[in-house]
Chain A
Amino acid sequence: MHPLLRATVFALCLLPLLGIVLSLQSGGLGPDPAEAIMGISGEWGLRFLALTLFVTVLRTWLDRPWPMHLRRMFGLYAFFYATMHLATFCHFYIGWAAALLLEELTERPYITLGFLSWLLLLPLALSSTRRARRHLGRKWLLLHRLVYPAVVLACVHLVWQVRTDAGEAVVYSLLFALLLGWRLRRRMFPATQPG
């Protein structure tokens, strides 16, 4: 993949962050930036998870290797926005108090699941370097299957928060169901790869 193209994609993925920073500065996030940043960062975490999972699909469809060169970047961006989501919670909602975090994790299961999802992504981010990959060998592939339970937990985390409108949660859950279903089908019927 051309380095310039990669750099362009990298920069594009930073735009949501830039949007948040600029709006924070201009007051565009309104009087309660906590709620706005929670929403934006959570949603972009999900979108990048979906993009990461879509890379393999795209490679198979196109029968070209180039999409794979973007997978690590998308995965790391998913972790980046998920981390921003968690940090926003720690900063605005519990004021970095460990005791309160523990209380939230034990009393509110939707928060527990969101946190677990982030926790599953953590080793994936840490082992994303070329060195770690070489070092882990076959185990690396096995380890990175953790992304599947991570997206399932993230979806449940989203669905659990529905109050009066399930629209968004349903759309994301369906999207991930398609992405995971595609893999399941390919595994079960390896001869008839979808193309």
Chain B
Amino acid sequence: MAQFRVPPIPSSEITPESVYLRRRQFMQAAGLLAAPALAGLASDVNARPATGGSPLEFRDAASGPAGFTTDEARTPRQDVTSYCNFYEFGSGKDDPAKYAHEMSVDPWSIAVEGEVARPGKLTMEDVLSRYDLEERVYRLRCVEAWSMVVPWVGFPLAALLKNFEPTSKARYVAFETLYRRDEMRGTRSFTSTIDWPYREGLRLDEAMHPLTLLAVGMYGKTMPNQNGAPIRLVVPWKYGFKSIKSVVRIRLTEKQPATTWQDLNAREYGFYSNVNPDVDHPRWSQKYERRLPSSLLRPNRIPTRLFNGYEDQVAGLYKGMDLKKYF
């Protein structure tokens, strides 16, 4: 029997209203003084309708060698919800927080198809009633050389895949994000070169790995839209863009599926995209990362670890592979 708990927010984590209001005044003053410099920055994301944040029932993940949790300082929730890459809502880091509320996530269903014995659809109600949720605290490393520590609430992708019974031909898993032009202003940008919908993929053994999570929430509550509501993938040993958001389709395939970033620039973004400080990216050195929050006096620049520190758990998946070739 699973034990459930809903953790209360400790009062130490609640921002006093006076501080909250002062911050707004500051931002407004800065905006008036240097409007052009701060266009976009000064717009207060707190004024947008908040999404997600409903209570969830879950248990803590087991600590220990499985890597399901870490003692590292968690990135404040406010930072995780305000600093996002979700190009469906724009390519600026604050665009998702500003515009993701325009996406409706209820009702939601995921189509599971391809090389499975029992293809079908899964509604969010099915997901929440069928799978036991647990909290996993993972490092998240973006290819842009910043990182966070996020407490996700979810369940292993393997549990879902097993229910649909992958056939013997299944070798890869392809994922697709929702694509709804009228709710996703980034997809309407005429200067964007992305071929929507956003696609990602994993090898079947990567998808079945116990660390690979389907997350339905974070910080103990349901997922905010900008972080990939209502359900997203989290693959902690790979660069963040592999952890596809707002998933509507899971397709098991025989051949390696096409992925969005690889299609855009195959020289820069590989299919595997495992975090690796020794394989440099043409744009960003991957040797170090800024663990957010970072600040002027404390940039918080730390060395990046192979497989984002999950080497013990996942290195076996890549035994004998040249990681520089299969980057």
Contacts and interface: CB of A to CB of B under 8 A. Distances in A.
Given A16-B37, A31-B79, A166-B191, 20 more contacts: A18-B33, A19-B30, A20-B37, A23-B30, A23-B41, A24-B296, A28-B38, A28-B41, A30-B79, A30-B93, A31-B82, A31-B83, A31-B294, A32-B93, A91-B299, A103-B285, A108-B282, A164-B192, A165-B189, A166-B193
Given A28-B41, A163-B264, A104 B285 contact: yes
Interface in A13-41: 15-16, 18-20, 22-36, 40
Contacts of A40: 37, 41
Could you tell me the dominant secondary structure of chain A's interface residues? helix
Interface in B20-48: 23, 26-27, 29-30, 33-34, 36-38, 41-42
B33 A22 contact: yes
Contacts of B93: 30, 32, 35
Nearest to A26: B26
B41 to A, nearest CB: 6
B37 A15 contact: yes
5 contacts: A24-B295, A24-B296, A32-B293, A92-B290, A100-B287
B194 interface: yes
Interface in A30-85: 30-36, 40, 44
A20 B37 CA distance: 8
B91 interface: yes
A15 to B, nearest CB: 4
A19 B37 contact: yes
B50 interface: no
A38 B318 CA distance: 36
Given A30-B94, A32-B290, A107-B280, A165 B34 contact: no
Contacts of B219: none
Contacts of A32: 83, 93, 146, 290, 292-294
> Interface size class for chain B?
35 or more
Interface of A: 15-16, 18-20, 22-36, 40, 44, 91-95, 100, 103-104, 107-108, 110, 161, 163-167, 170
Nearest to B300: A92
B33 A31 contact: no
Given A29-B41, A31-B292, A91-B299, A164 B87 contact: yes
B143 to A, nearest CB: 10
B34 A18 contact: yes
B255 interface: no
Contacts of A35: 93, 144, 146
A102 B146 CA distance: 21
B169 interface: no
A164 B194 CA distance: 6
A121 to B, nearest CB: 20
A34 B37 contact: no
